[in-house]
């Protein structure tokens, strides 16, 4: 149950962030929004969201602040910059970064927030545009357990699978596990449907047979129908997936782990990006084979 004085700030209104903010508005929260392009917020403003001109203004108006932006560099600027949330925020504020970023940055933000009397949680998500729209995201949370419990009701408005993974950085490490699993799976899914097409099979019938068996996966059920329709609009951008895979490979190398499946997937997606597909959805891997 939300507190009467609880206001939420939301930074970043992209493919997923806009739906997440909309679900918070529908739940009755007062929501302050910021994104670099105000036009992206127009439909949320019509629903009652309040526009601010900079992250530091969010920090003055909200006691729970959520960010869902593109890259670790964006996260660092928003939280640690001179005009950022920690420098300009209030003690007692909960800072929640839901961007897929680096574990080390999550730890640094948590340490700096603590010095100012704030709580910071790293809470990356999985589920794409559909999960965000339907409030069925998987949310992987790192940070203090008491802080997690305090904002759990907010997480449960945006997601249906919310798990506290451990201390600061644990949410980001868990998201790397998620991305590693998806990376190799996307190769298998795409090759399977490409094989079906070359064998003269109806991809829809093939999907009907294999999606409910041991080959089943979220990507197979949700992204293959888009592939065969020629729908390559982003539920999750290729450019952001490449960013995630780079983070995961860097972390794996730091831990002395070899990740050949992840390396192969990254190279295939980088080839697509170089061919002009960086703003397509991850299902555009299909174009590599067809």
Residues 162 and 59 reside in one and the same domain:
yes
Residues 235 and 255 reside in one and the same domain:
yes
Q: Which are the contacts of 165, defined by CB distance < 8 A and separation ≥ 6?
A: 140, 141, 142, 171, 173, 174
End-of-domain residue from the set 130, 149, 167: 167
Q: Give domain status of residue 2, yes or no.
A: no
Q: Give domain status of residue 153, yes or no.
A: yes
Residues 125 and 198 reside in one and the same domain:
no
Residues 99 and 178 reside in one and the same domain:
no
| Catalytic-role residue among 38, 40, 53, 175 | 175
Task: Provide the number of structural domains found in the chain.
Answer: 2
Q: Give domain status of residue 44, yes or no.
A: yes
Residues 95 and 214 reside in one and the same domain:
no
The DSSP letter of residue 238 is H
Residues 155 and 13 reside in one and the same domain:
yes
End-of-domain residue from the set 167, 202, 217: 167
Domain, as residue range, for 29: 7-167
Query: Residue 91 is part of a domain; what is its CATH number?
Result: 3.40.50.720
End-of-domain residue from the set 145, 167, 189: 167
Residues 158 and 188 reside in one and the same domain:
no
Ordered per-residue pLDDT tens for the chain, 290 residues: 344 458 999 999 988 999 999 999 999 999 999 998 888 889 999 999 999 999 999 999 999 999 999 899 999 999 999 999 999 999 999 999 999 999 999 999 999 999 999 999 999 999 988 999 999 999 999 999 999 999 999 999 999 999 999 999 999 999 999 999 999 999 999 999 999 999 999 999 999 999 999 999 999 999 999 999 999 999 899 999 999 999 999 999 999 999 999 999 999 999 999 999 999 999 999 999 98
Q: CA-to-CA distance for 115 and 136, rounded, in angstroms?
A: 34
Cα–Cα nearest to 183, from 101, 70, 264 = 264
Q: Give domain status of residue 49, yes or no.
A: yes
Q: Give domain status of residue 221, yes or no.
A: yes
Q: Is the pTM of this model over 0.75?
A: yes
For this structure, is 40 an active site residue? no
Residues 132 and 185 reside in one and the same domain:
no
Residues 132 and 158 reside in one and the same domain:
yes
Q: Which are the contacts of 96, defined by CB distance < 8 A and separation ≥ 6?
A: 64, 65, 66, 67, 120, 121, 123, 151, 154
CA within 13 Å, CB half, 46:
5
Q: Give domain status of residue 267, yes or no.
A: yes
Write down the pLDDT at residue 3: 47
């Amino acid at each position: 149950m939300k507190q009467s004085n609880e206001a939420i700030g939301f930074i970043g209104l992209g493919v997923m962030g806009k739906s997440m903010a909309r679900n918070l508005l529908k739940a009755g929260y007062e929501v302050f929004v910021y994104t670099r392009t105000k036009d992206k917020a127009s439909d949320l403003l019509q629903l009652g969201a309040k526009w601010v001109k900079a992250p530091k203004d969010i920090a003055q108006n909200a006691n729970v602040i959520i960010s869902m932006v593109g890259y670790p560099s964006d996260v660092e600027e928003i939280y640690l910059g001179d005009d950022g949330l920690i420098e300009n925020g209030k003690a007692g504020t909960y800072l929640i970064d839901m961007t897929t970023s680096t574990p080390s940055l999550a730890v640094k933000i948590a340490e700096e927030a603590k010095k100012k009397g704030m709580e910071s949680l790293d809470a990356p998500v999985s589920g794409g545009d559909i999960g965000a729209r339907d409030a069925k995201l998987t949310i992987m949370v790192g940070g203090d357990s008491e802080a997690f419990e305090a904002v759990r009701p907010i997480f449960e408005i945006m997601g249906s699978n919310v798990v506290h993974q451990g201390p600061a950085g644990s949410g980001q490490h868990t998201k790397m596990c998620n991305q590693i699993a998806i990376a190799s799976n996307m190769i298998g899914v795409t090759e399977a449907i490409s094989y079906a097409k070359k064998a003269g099979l109806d991809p829809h019938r093939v999907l009907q047979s294999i999606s409910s068996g041991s080959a089943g996966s979220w990507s197979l059920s949700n992204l293959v129908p888009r592939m065969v329709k020629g729908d390559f609009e982003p539920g999750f951008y290729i450019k952001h997936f490449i960013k995630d895979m780079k983070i995961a490979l860097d972390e794996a190398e730091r831990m002395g782990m070899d990740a050949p499946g992840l390396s192969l997937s990254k190279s295939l997606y980088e080839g697509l990006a170089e061919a002009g597909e960086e703003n397509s959805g991850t299902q555009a891997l299909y174009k590599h084979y067809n």
